[in-house]
Amino acid sequence: MRNFMIVFLSVLLYSNYLPAQKIDNLTSVREMNSDRYFRLHYDNDYFATTDENYTQGYSFELVTPTFKKNPANFLFLKPKNSETRYGLAIEHIGFTPDRYDLPEIQEGDRPFAAAIYLKSFIIKTDTIHKSRFTSSLNIGMIGPAAFGGEMQIGIHEATGNKTPRGWGNQIKNDLVLNYEVGYEKQLLRYKNIFSLQAQGNLKVGTLFTNASFSLNTSVGIINSPFNSIKNKKGFELYVYTQPVISAIGYDATLQGGLFNRSSPYIIGSGDVERVTTQFNYGIVLKTRTLYFEYTRSMITREFTTGSSASWGGIRIGFTI
């Protein structure tokens, strides 16, 4: 335990010098107290009064036992003696350089990029050993087929902001095929007011290939996400923090797709930061049937000529 606490404090102190996935619906701090629910998530850097790097993302998430018959489940690891939840999500992410209003390529800044994909996932909770195992498969497209330019232009026109003009230089169409596994373990819990978990994730695929380690802490009125769904209480209100350290292998939003190498502008492999950190924090309110969250995130630079970035997001969910 002492070693874990040292790592935790080190991450907090040095997070400005050390990414994680932009949309993470599988971590325990976002536990829904049901095996049947729908949840909407929306990110935008507007919440952090910026308009660059990770500029927008959203997901529509549905969990129901009906998805037990999903053929993709045969690809997932399934530890025994665990409660299992099955889900599908549609996720969309978009990225822009700082001067998104200029039509020419912004050398030294990140390229325009957008991706959309269908995510199949399972959540396995071991209520005895207070741990959970997650696995997911993403299938979709990066490039103009993800309609990131049309979406950002429409939002900016509706809100009276500057019109993005550089989407003609975006990462070109390519396949998104990603596989992810994650393991999370409760390290410490004090009554129903404090909990500390360690989490490791591994992603392999054409969109992101990386490994990450994080510690998440919840403080407030909390119900253990490692209890059986049958024993979950109704009301919860807590704040959480989650520092994340990642080792980066490949990032198609910077380096372009693995198969289509015709993108007009990319970040070279030698300019990608191979060790990065992200710091997430937020507040969650839950009842027996509803879920509300406001979250903020900060990430260190992801390529050598880039800069750190920040954004915010909201989640709204309900049981079905």
Q: What is the pLDDT of residue 53?
A: 87
CA–CA dist 30, 225 (Å, integer)? 9
Q: Is 286's pLDDT higher than 90?
A: yes
pLDDT digits (tens, 9 = 90+) for 32-57: 989 999 999 999 887 777 767 898 99
Q: What is the pLDDT of residue 159?
A: 84
Q: What is the pLDDT of residue 116?
A: 98
pLDDT digits (tens, 9 = 90+) for 64-104: 999 999 999 999 988 888 999 999 999 999 999 999 999 99
pLDDT digits (tens, 9 = 90+) for 219-254: 999 988 998 887 667 899 999 999 999 999 999 999
For domain 2-319, give the CATH number.
2.40.128.140
Q: What is the pLDDT of residue 312?
A: 94
Q: Which long-range contacts (CB under 8 A, 24 or more apart) does 259-262 make?
A: 259/174, 259/175, 259/206, 260/143, 260/172, 260/173, 260/174, 262/172
**Where exactly are the structural domains of the chain?**
2-319
Confidence of residue 2 (pLDDT cuts 50, 70, 90): very low
Residues, the chain, total? 320
Q: What is the pLDDT of residue 21?
A: 57
Residue predicted with more confidence, 4 or 102: 102
Q: Is 145's pLDDT higher than 70?
A: yes
Mean pLDDT of the chain: 91
Q: Which of 212, 28, 39 is nearest to 123 (CA)?
A: 28
pTM for this entry: 0.90
